[in-house]
Amino acid sequence: MSVSTAAADRSLCAPLPVLGRDVTVPLVTGGEVAYAALDYAASAPALQRVWDDVAAYAPYYGSVHRGAGYLSQLSTDLFENARRTVAEFLGCRPDDQVVFTRSTTDSLNLLARALPAGCQVFVFETEHHASLLPWQDARVTYLDAPRTPRQAVRTLERALAGRDPHGPALVCVTGASNVTGELWPVRELAAAAHAHGARIVLDAAQLAPHHPVDIRDLDVDWVAFSGHKLYAPFGSGVLAGRADWLRAAEPYLAGGGASRKVTRRQDGGVAVEWHDSAARHEAGSPNVIGAYSIAAACKALTEAGWDTLVAREEQLIRTVRQGLAEVPEVRILSLFGDDAPRVGVLSFVVEGWNSSHFAAALSAEYGIGVRDGLFCAHPLVRTLLGTDPRTQGECGAPEAAPGEKSLNAVRVSFGAGTPDEHVERFVNAVRELVRDGARWQYRTEDGRCVPAV
């Protein structure tokens, strides 16, 4: 890194530089401004270091596992070293498996396919759809939204106490809410699950980019997360944890790489012997660059120091919460209350504003990118907004024209690549919009609020 670039990064006050930090966007009111990416909960920008590491590897790209050439062997070593790096990042046990997938959603669907026969699944209605929906083929018990961490544990304990004690069971829980950012009592929930003979999988999509995740310390059986929320490019994810259910299950995908031996049977069919390693569920040519980028992000976060990253993020959270608290028309959504520990994810509604209209104005007039809608967590958002959680809604899109009452909220999210200025600009923009109103006219187009031209 050159001296001038290093100085520019320091001026941003972000400990880990990300791609896009120099991008400018036009404003409807005229001129341009540096884009403030405050939608980390959906997809965090890739770390500059991750991008540089991937670019350095790209000329040496080769086939994986089945090639005799030098580049193939190099790529194979890189892929398997990435697996070991992720295992270390998660504090995996010696016999745990690390399976590379496409995303958190893919990881949890893989685990759902690996459930033993008769497995009963327990999941809170507050989960993201990635961890709420994959269990449709199992016996699922949906648990009501708790209002305190203690209530969450008690609710789970009561549900588990009433289950069949002889059959397998799985609890699925988030580590940090993608709507409120609130941290869930993972250790206590894991203890409750194990006390009743159940296993537990942690959806760490929102936790892993903000806090250390240690499988042994949390005493969970599996962890799932996505690369694109961990400052890596799109298209890669991880399922890590106990191997026995994964080894016993049919491969998630059937094909090359998952099979150890394939022969013709006398009856004319095909006999297959599947791998019992992570390869069993990684059929086809793997996403080597995706796996490598996740490993590079794991290294970057670890080397930056979690104490430093967490302390700074808590400062940003205080800035946002204090700023929004000064605007009476703003209501921050919360399950566990104002004092609950959280990561850099907050959702809110503004009195007198349709949330899509508000988000559109933040973008068009201030160059700030946030998210509006139900955040693929419909039952949770409906509960927080005081509506029937069974009511259907369209994911990520508003349900009424600007200015009309509709069921959605605004979400702001940030992390290790967020400059102080972006957060400060957001708080000031909220104040101005509430006080003065939008400076531009907006209309609905394809279900979204956009500037009128």
Q: Which residues are tagged catalytic?
A: 376
Give CA–CA dist 361/212, Å, rounded.
Answer: 35
- Name the token pair of 307: 């104490």
DSSP state of 18: B
CA distances from 211 to 40, 131, 170, 204, 308 (A): 14, 20, 24, 10, 11
Q: Taking a C-beta distance cutoff of 8 angstroms, is the pair 395, 129 a contact?
A: yes
DSSP character string of 162-229? TS-TTS-EEEEEESB-TTT-BBP-HHHHHHHHHHTT-EEEEE-TTTTTTS---HHHHT-SEEEEEGGG
The torsion angles phi and psi of 264, rounded to 5 degrees, stand at: -85, 140
E-strand stretches of 312-377:
330-332, 345-350, 368-369, 371-373
Environment class of 391 (CB within 10 Å of its CB; exposed 0-12, middle 13-18, buried 19+) = exposed
